[in-house]
Structure 1
Amino acid sequence: MSLLSPLWLIALIILPLYLWGARRYRWHRQAWMMVSVFFLILSLTRPVLSEKPISVEESGSDVILAVDVSYSMRATDIAPNRLEAAKKALSEIVRSDSRDRFAVMAHTTSAIVLSPLTKDTELLEYLFASLDESQIITKGTEVMSALELARKMSHAQHPLVVLFTDGGDELSYEEEAAYAEEKGLRVCIVMLATSGGSTLPSENGSLKDEEGHIVVSSRNDAINTIAEQSGGKVIEGADAEAVREWIERERSEDFAGESTVTRYSELFYFPLVLALIAFVLAYTSVGEKVSKSLIPLLALVGISANAGLLDYPYQTLGSYAYSHGNYERSAQWYGRIDSERGRFNRAASLYKMGKYQDALAMYRTIRSEEPLFKSKVFYNMANCHIRLSEFENARTALLKSLTLSYTPQADQNLRAIAGAQEQKSLNVRKEKKDQFTSDENKPTGEGKKSKEGGGSNMQSDIASSGAGDAGKKAQADPRFSTSQGKAALSSKQYELINQRSVHETKPW
């Protein structure tokens, strides 16, 4: 059993407070009320039983979301400012559309890939939240670079491109419109500016030009030519619903495949029924007669609610088997832990056994909102794809890992397979030993190297229920902290956004 909303357990603190406040009243009634509140809180945590993952066929469109991040997007004529309005709309779009694949790019005088095509909503929303406009200093917009990069990001015949922009500063976009029409791009322009425009905030008040005049940025309707000529649409303001409707209308089957879906059996109604029964007993004579059994009952419920603590023996045994090279036994022990970390550790053991397909399938069932943990999952998935000579999938997974958290190991692996082709053998230990990192998948919390070599940069630096985590303190990663209000993209990404050129084979 696992809990989908364990944060509700914090509410249990009200029980001792309630007991202290009600100590002068009839004990049996208050005891049953405490039981009722306990079960009610337990039902709110959504206890579930995991079922066997199933494969679901899916198809949809390739949608490239291009965000103008030039200095003019700080204007406040669209509240709170143009870029913040764009980020909010972007989150609403990807959150409401689970059918299509989305890619994200940022562009000023050059364009840079922030995320390749993916259906991972959590990854995309993290990207939008992490984009810090204060790090962007480029003034000026070149739309052609965004269209060219959009065409390279999708092999679809007619990919959908959504440009979030204030129109840029070009007098004519005839060349860009002709390019979009020729390359089969269907472009939707989301106009994030008004005719009256707005001043641009700076450290000294409002931004001024070289002659000392205050700069006012207003909309440039010349860019609408691109949408009109490519068969797209112009949308006024950050209207996420209008964008979603346009995507729905223009949808085509640009990709087809299968995804692994984890299903759960909800158990919340059991504690909810018990909460109602306890509430009734609190106000009846029957409850007074059986109140003596309240303490054993609470003890039993407490053990059930903390079933995760019983996973400790499996964690210990799995960690011991892994560290001694008994990966098959390690996978068996980890398989008894019903948690995301347990599945992560089981997949790591399967990887060491050479069962790369099984490990990959296990990694795909993992769901988490922790960016660092997701980065490690994508990195390990990439290693599985490399072992299977699926280099295109490996490159995509490594880009996702680097997007969430930059690590030298992921960067090194991406460089090592840059020229690798599908279905060609790649002996990581021999042919590419000088290029491809020897760091491999490993259970979280492991501190020793396994017999088959290859320590791991994938050690968990956050508290978890994975093997070997007990007794270890969480370590903060200097690149990301979940306690911060806004996580920054890597300095390399901002450097590429602000410069006037970008290396196409290494856009990150």
Structure 2
Amino acid sequence: MSILYPGFLWLMIPIGILFWYREKKLMETVHLIILVLIVLALSRPVFMQGVEESPIEAQEYIIALDVSYSMRAKDISPDRYTFAKETIAALLKQNPADNIMLIAFTTNPLLLSPPTTDHVLIETALKSLNPEYILTKGTSLQKLFEKVASMKSREKHLILISDGGEEKDLSRLEETVKKGNIHLHILALGSTEGTTVETSDGSLLKDKEGQLIISRTNPLLEALASATGGSYMTAASTPEATAGALYDALQAQNSLRQQVTKKQHRYTELYGIPLFFAALLFMMLHIRAVRYLLVALAFLGITAEASMLDGYRVHQAYKAYDTDDLNSSESWLKQVDVPSLQSRFALGSVYYKKGEYAKALKLFASIRSTDAAVKQKLYYNIANCYAREEAYEKAKIYYTKALQLGEDEDARANLALVALLADKRSTELGIAHPKSQSSGTSKSQEQKESKEESRSEDQPSSGSGSGGENSKSKKEQEKKKLLLDPDAEQQPLSSKVYELINKGYINEQKPW
């Protein structure tokens, strides 16, 4: 990185002194930081990308533009002055490598731009020139030639754009041009008939005696060009055509052009960075609405980014869950920045499937929702967790809550089985998997009841003894009746079972 205008960095010294002796207040400190950023922007930091070198043919020219009152005459559309400016702008585009100096003159010459190949700078100087600020009425070619002759260049190619004014001393002008080694190229603007000149207030320009001034092209210009060996031309139909003809005349007279190597630095401007932060700090400090807006935009940006990442993580968690990779699924769900209802349901299901029922129960119990369908699934999952931990009384409560919010076959079947287990803890019961927030009802696990009948018969055995005979004895064992065997004698029902029968959740004839 380089600094194009390092002189501005000297301003850091007084800013540093102010910073050292400042009051320890936030407002004052931020103001000093803003000043530092502005100074950095003024110093024009750039990132250098390299130097381009290219051989070109170039020539040095001095353009002298007459800006006197007479150039406001409108015998050339729209007027002489505007036509001259547009001609110069078109001439600059003919060869961007030419080194050009721009001078404006009336009774005295005024340097607008030193010799430069940066034609954009010359165009900027032209645009900033306002004829409304020109107060002098005369034109002095003599002072212009003397100024050009005093320049150190060995040869001076002067492009004179003027109507000639009221100059009459041809011999003196000729002598100055020749002594100063000036190659003269004249573009005469105006007409031989002449026209009146308007002032800034719209009135016509008059002389000291009150007579209207008629501005014509001074014939002295053509005579001067002929006497000094220069070129002379008048305006063409358009500024572009005039610039083309003028450039051709310059080329014909200057057969030997300089072969130079043009070096151009390529760089990227960086001044916008400190300037942006300076403006941002100023607005945040003094404009409350902007401060709130920036905070809101930053929050929305962070929220949007977090939402996109969370959606991706939940998707990956579901993929891992479907392949029974429960550890990966848990890892993805724990990376979610803003847990949603869906992600919390999914994490609870992962805990349940891994057999970590206490974690699943804690997570399901922490979820809050006003939606009846969501609450029903929550109650069902909580009941399943309690059932797996053999807390059957609590499981019955949450199965009942789930059924109060809507009919569910799984919940009804599990409630009946849990009610039985509450009285007979020896009965084995399978509990259905938990419901996820995005899934429907799952199939209930039906408890299979089996009957076992065991029969044993004593086989006849032969024995020896006096007067004894072999006999067969058959012993029948009583059938072992299971707790859930419908043919077995029913066990007495508990008060909880009667309560469920009254609510209609259990069949009164066959409560088991």
Q: Using structure 1 for the length normalisation, give the TM-score.
A: 0.42
Answer 1 or 2: higher relative contact order, Cα 8 Å, separation at least 6: 1
Asked which structure has the greater CA Rg, the reply is 2
